[in-house]
Structure 1
């Protein structure tokens, strides 16, 4: 008799989790959703839809005003910050750092949540691995100020990976990057094998990156599913006012997704 299939491990759980301002304005309606180990979730929606509010809630920068957010089974609201930092890493839209720092020293900042818990050699091993994974090991002795935008973003990612997170949160990680750097960064993140929730404003990047899409509109989760389901032509038109066009790639035969402004 075959053994039972293993139940997917929930890394992130939102249980009727939402957020209201002190004045009672609802910025995020209650959300029920679960993200399992290794899943890549793209968070999409128009400006003002609630993406930033949701990401802040997921990393405990703000606390859910109703419902619960859990990571690895722990309620974020009551989880001590050092413990949380060993499980949740954030790559913000813009990182405010001392550009005079050496790359290696900056990446090593990601080890702070693990200080006094492992030997110094283990810290060095993890930093080295993060540098290699993000393909910035050859830049380790350079200062952040000397790097290109794409190089600097990979270094920020290496710092996040040095935390050894089980959940990685990305807030518009491809902003200010050229086309090649955008594709490279998302392919790198996709290949990490860890659980990721990434806010993306460019819908064309979503299909090749995401296992699932969370689509927000006016503070409500209006879609949660694989890209082909969540990014349906009808929903894209309704939420973004854009027309979705599928075409066949002339070289490898795959599907190309393009999003065009609907004709008046």
Structure 2
């Protein structure tokens, strides 16, 4: 009887799951078909995956674009986790009225759209090009520096720090640990699920970042994978089979990271500590 009562819920969940997974299944199917078949809306898998991949590697530097994206995404993730967790930990563990005011101002920055600061940000990096070329326009650093941490990630780590048992810090101080020692030897290992969730969010956001790299990266050899896919679609007669193959390849790293860390991601998002 309970099964019949719950059947509308199950039907709704099945439909929602189908709608969610359909775009990915369509990408996989399209990557195995010719461009004309994709244009005609064919949903059945074909036999042209290897041909599409071969033509893709002949047209563009796929490996270079993947390396550029990986380099930027991994560096951004490492820096973001370190700095955002230090900030969130400091805001929560060493609370004061002044810090709360600074934190509230930091949260206000989330309301400013990136497009509003993009032009002055580009001008700033353009000036850096004449002084410090290593962080100027058309460098990996110019992509990483504005995006390696966000107000949301600091807020996330502060909220996670609320679940951290403060008596562990007192025990560490009694044992003679410094404040940095408390952070790296007690807080970081204890909050590993929060770090896993933060790593997934940051890596996926950095890997799929399109607008800022489009503005600041000007050399073809420094393009990231989203820019490469965009360039494939901007030709006079785009080959949709090749484009879908590139899209499929570009989703593999983020899908792999998510599936390997999904348990930690769920635990980290609900604030649990192991």
Whichever structure has more strand as a proportion of its residues is 1
TM-score by length of 1: 0.26
**Greater helix share, 1 or 2?**
2
Larger radius of gyration: 2
Name the structure, 1 or 2, with higher relative contact order (CA <8 Å, separation 6+): 2
